[in-house]
Chain A
Amino acid sequence: MAHAIFWAALTCVLYVYFGYPLLLVAWSRLGRRQVKKRDWEPSVSLLIVMHNESKNVRGKLSNCLDLDYPKNKLQIIVSLDAPTDDTEALAREYSDAGVAVMCSHVRRGKAGAINSGMTMARGQIVVFADARQRFARNAVRELVANFADPSVGAVSGELMLMDGNGREASNAVGLYWRYEKAIRSMESDIHSVPGASGSIYAIRRELFRPLPGNTFLDDVTIPMRIVLSGKRAIFDSKARAYDCVTETPEQEYEKKVRTLTGNYELFAEMPQLLLPWRNPIFIQMVSHKAGRLIVPHCLGALFAANLFLLHGFYLLFFAGQLAWYGLAVMGWISSAQRFRRQAAPAAIPLAESRKQI
C-alpha cells in the first residue's frame, strides 16, 4: 500500500512540475497554431477597477493617458467599488482628460465593479487593468493586434516583475513567475491559456457576459468562458505591464492563497472545465490549474508513505526529502532575519514601463 501511494504521489508531483512542461514543449512544436496578428486600430475601452487606490490612481491614469493609441479610439473607464479613501476625488481630477469615472458607494466586490464598468464600455475591444501595474506605451496596440485573427477572443499580456534596479526579478519569486510565463506561452501556442494576467488582458466586448457577484478570479473566469464558447485565449509577451516583485516569499504567499482559493471556487462554479468533451483545453486545465491544487496533498502523501519505506532507494529518497525541507526551514529563518532588517520596498520602476518594446 505504501509503495502504491509513494509512486502515485511522486508521479503526480513530477508530472505537474516537469512532465507537463516537457509535454508542452513537444506539443507546441508539433501542433503550433499561429495567431494572424495585424496592426489595426479598433475602438478600445480600457477598464480599471479600483477600491482604495489613492496611492496608485494618479500614476495609473497618467500612464493610461500616455499610451500609444489614438485618443479618439481609446475610452478610459474607472469603476470604483466603494472607496473609503480619496481615490474617487483623485480619479475625478482626470475627468477633463476624458477619463470616465463611475463610483458605487455600495460594496459589491470586483466582479460587480467590472459589471458596472462594462455597461459604459463602447469599444470593440475591452482591455482590463489593475491599479498598481503600469503599461508599456505600446501595450494596448500589441494586445489589439491579435484580434485581427477572428479565432482569438481574449488576449493576456505579460506581467513583468521588476526588481528595485529596473531589471526583471531574479529572486525565487521572480524565477517562479518566469517558469509560469514559459508554460503560459507554450499553452497559448497550442490553443489557449487557462487564465490571463489580471493586470493586463483584453477581450472582444461582444463576448462578455456579466459575472456572478461572487466571482473572485475574473482573469480566469472571463477568458475561460470565452474558450468554452469556442474562441481562443492567447498570451502575447509583447504586450507588457510592469510591477515591482514582492520582496519576500511571504508577500507572494498571501497573493497565492487568494489565487488558489479562487481556483477552488472556479472549479465549483464552472465544473464543465473538468469535462474533456466540454473544455477544449481540458488537459491544460487539469495539468496546470488542478495540478497545482493537488500537488501539496501529494507531497504530504509522499512524505508519509516514505516513512513506511525506509530501506534502499526509499531511504535515500527520504534523506533527500529531509534535506529539502531542512533547506526550506533555513530559507524561512533567513527570510525572517532579512525582513527585520529591510527598509521600505523599492518603488515600481515606472521609467521601465515607458520603454517601447
Chain B
Amino acid sequence: MKTTIRKLIQIPYTFVLMNLAAVAGLYCFARGHEGFWNSVPMGTQQPQGLRHV
C-alpha cells in the first residue's frame, strides 16, 4: 500500500520535473551551452589530430 502510494505520487512529481526541464532547457539555450558532451570545454585538448587503426 505504502509502495503504491509512493509510486502514484511520483507521477505528478515526474510530470512537474519534466516540464521544469523545458524551462531549464530554454535557459540553457539562451545562455548557450558547450559542456553537455562533458565538462571539458571543446577544443582544449592537446591538438594531435586524428589517428586511424
Q: Is A331 in the interface zone, CB < 8 Å from B?
A: yes
The answer to whether the Cβ of B1 comes within 8 Å of any Cβ in the partner chain is: no
Cα separation A354 to B45 with both chains bound (whole Å): 37
| Complex interface: stretch among A2-10, A40-48, A101-109, A127-135 | A101-109
Q: Given B9, B25, B37, which contacts A260 in the complex, CB threshold below 8 Å?
A: B25
- Contact yes or no, A105 B17, CB < 8 A: no
CA gap between A172 and B7 in the complex, in Å? 7
| Contact in complex: A171, B10 (CB < 8 Å) | yes
> A325 contacts B16, CB within 8 Å?
yes
Partner of B29, one of A95, A175, A256, A265: A265
At the interface, is chain A mostly helix, strand, loop or mixed?
helix
Contact status of A102 and B52, CB under 8 A, knowing A107-B42, A173-B14: yes
Contact pick for A335, options B10, B36, B47, CB 8 Å: B10
Q: Which B residues are in CB contact (< 8 Å) with A331? A: 9-14
- Give the shortest distance, in Å, between B10 (CB) and chain A (any CB): 4
Known A-B contacts A171-B7, A264-B26, A331-B10; A299 and B19 likewise in contact (beta carbons under 8 Å): yes
Q: Which of A155-163, A181-189, A199-207, A288-296 is the interface stretch? A: A288-296
Is the pair B29, A261 in contact by a Cβ cutoff of 8 Å?
A: yes
Are B21 and A102 closer than 8 Å at their CB atoms?
Answer: no
Q: Which of B15, B33, B36, B50 meets A102, CB within 8 Å?
A: B50
Q: Which residues of A contact B13 (CB under 8 A)?
A: 172, 249, 327-332, 334-335
Q: Name the B residues within 8 Å of A296 (CB-CB).
A: 19-20, 22-23
- Closest residue on chain B to residue A49 by CB atoms: B37
- The reply to whether the CB of A308 lies closer than 8 angstroms to some CB of chain B is no
A163 to chain B, nearest CB (A): 12
Q: Which listed residue, A105, A249, A263, touches B49 by the CB 8 Å rule?
A: A105
B12 and A257 form a contact (CB under 8 A): no
Chain A residue total in the interface (Cβ 8 A)? 58
Docked complex Cα distance between A240 and B37 (Å): 24
B33: A residues at CB distance < 8 A: 216, 261
Q: Is A52 an interface residue (CB 8 A)?
A: yes
Residue in B7, B12, B40, B51 whose Cβ sees the most chain A Cβ within 10 Å: B12
For A176, the closest partner residue in chain B by CB is B14
Contact, CB under 8 Å: B43 / A107: yes
Top 8 A-B pairs, shortest CB-CB distance: A331-B13, A260-B25, A256-B21, A264-B29, A105-B48, A172-B14, A296-B19, A172-B10
* Residues on A facing B (Cβ under 8 Å): 51-52, 81-82, 84, 92, 95, 100-110, 116, 120, 171-173, 175-176, 216, 249-250, 252-253, 256-265, 268, 292-293, 295-297, 299, 324-325, 327-332, 334-335, 338
Given contacts A257-B24, A261-B29, A296-B19, 13 further A-B contacts (CB under 8 A): A101-B53, A104-B50, A105-B47, A106-B48, A109-B37, A110-B37, A172-B10, A216-B36, A259-B25, A324-B12, A328-B16, A331-B10, A332-B13
Residues of B whose CB lies within 8 Å of any CB of A are 6-26, 28-29, 33, 36-38, 40-53
**CB<8 Å pairs between A and B, sample of 25:** A100-B53, A102-B51, A105-B51, A107-B37, A107-B44, A108-B43, A172-B7, A176-B14, A250-B17, A253-B17, A253-B20, A256-B17, A257-B28, A260-B22, A260-B25, A261-B36, A264-B26, A268-B29, A293-B22, A296-B23, A297-B23, A324-B12, A331-B9, A331-B10, A331-B14
